[in-house]
């Protein structure tokens, strides 16, 4: 059974102006998501600036999200690392905190071989009872989970149950589904490819767009799964210009700016991420106005 079906939000980690985690604001954002139809909270992933959180902050954000969500929808904790030992540690802590699943990004910078990926993910899988989603985003990590590797992992470890696919390579995704023989759930990791990936069997999306348009992102998936393919596609197309603006600079710079435009007070990003360039921010503002997110 899928961990969730629909639209999960890769939620931001809001900060105070002094850089500390703003837990009160995180709670407001979680409530906003649940109340607007989001199907899962994905906490401390890339969009949540996990790479600049301390381990203590990382674990506390997971604990807080679990408590605040209070079983209304599943909480998936980002626990990946380019150090296998660290990923094992964070995954165990996520399980102890009550997370429903963990999301494991491919080990960045190291450029592990496919054999290395099998060893890395396998060691994590053996350390936990949590359902695990692998996160394949080679453009950001320099490392690609090939279809045969995914199939080997899914066959060997019962708790590796899904893949967040941000490869942008639909033929590779189809080969992964073919080799895994129905034993893996695919979630789009690209907001611009939700409907196309649903057409080949994806269960939904883990979305940046959901931070600012949760109901609409949910509806892209819900319409498709209800048989309204044209309705899903129309919504997907409507939001493409905004999606492009949300990725005009490295994530999560634009989405935090977008939340701040909405008065949601997500705060700044942590260095080395910087403030959004004014010309990009103006395009983002215009696209948000066009779809009615802000006035």
Question: 135 catalytic, yes or no?
Answer: yes
- Tell me which of 64, 68, 108, 164 is the catalytic residue: 164
Task: From the candidates 135, 187, 224, 239, give the one annotated as an active-site residue.
Answer: 135
Query: CB of 77 within 8 A of CB of 99?
Result: yes
Nearest to 194 by CA among 227, 159, 162, 229: 229
Residue 80 CA: distances (Å) to CA of 8, 11, 115, 272: 18, 16, 17, 20
Q: Residue 203 catalytic?
A: no
Closest among 136, 148, 147, 149 to 107, alpha carbons compared: 136
Rounded-to-integer distance, Cα 165 and Cα 190, Å: 7
User: How many angstroms separate the Cα of 248 from the Cα of each of 42, 46, 110, 216?
Assistant: 22, 16, 26, 21
Distance (Å, rounded) from C-alpha 295 to C-alpha 281?
15
The Cα–Cα gap between 69 and 40 comes to 9
Is 156 within 8 Å of 122 (Cβ atoms)? yes
Which positions are annotated as active-site residues? 135, 164
């Amino acid at each position: 059974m899928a961990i969730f079906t629909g639209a999960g939000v890769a939620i931001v980690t809001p900060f105070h102006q002094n850089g500390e985690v703003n837990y009160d604001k995180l709670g407001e954002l979680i409530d906003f998501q649940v109340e607007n139809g989001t199907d899962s909270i994905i906490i401390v992933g890339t969009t949540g600036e996990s790479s600049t959180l301390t381990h203590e902050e990382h674990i506390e954000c997971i604990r807080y999200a679990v408590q605040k969500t209070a079983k209304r929808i599943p909480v998936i904790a980002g626990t990946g690392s380019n150090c296998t030992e660290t990923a094992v540690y964070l995954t165990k802590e996520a399980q102890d905190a009550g997370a429903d699943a963990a999301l494991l990004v491919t080990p960045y910078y190291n450029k592990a071989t496919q054999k290395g990926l099998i060893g890395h993910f396998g060691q994590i899988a053996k350390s936990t009872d949590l359902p695990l989603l692998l996160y394949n985003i080679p453009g950001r990590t320099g490392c690609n989970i090939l279809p045969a590797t995914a199939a080997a992992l899914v066959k060997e470890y019962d708790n590796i149950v899904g893949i967040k696919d941000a490869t942008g390579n639909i033929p590779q995704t189809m080969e992964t589904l073919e080799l895994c023989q129905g034993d893996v759930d695919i979630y789009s990791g690209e907001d611009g490819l939700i409907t196309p990936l649903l057409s080949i069997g994806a269960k939904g999306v883990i979305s940046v767009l959901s931070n600012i348009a949760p109901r609409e992102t949910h509806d892209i998936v819900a319409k498709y799964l209800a048989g309204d393919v044209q309705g899903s596609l129309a919504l997907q197309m409507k939001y493409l210009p905004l999606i492009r603006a949300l990725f005009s600079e490295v994530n999560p710079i634009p989405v935090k700016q977008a939340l701040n435009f909405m008065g949601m007070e997500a705060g700044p990003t942590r260095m080395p991420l910087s403030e959004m360039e004014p010309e990009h921010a103006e395009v983002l503002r215009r696209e948000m106005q066009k779809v009615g997110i802000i006035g």
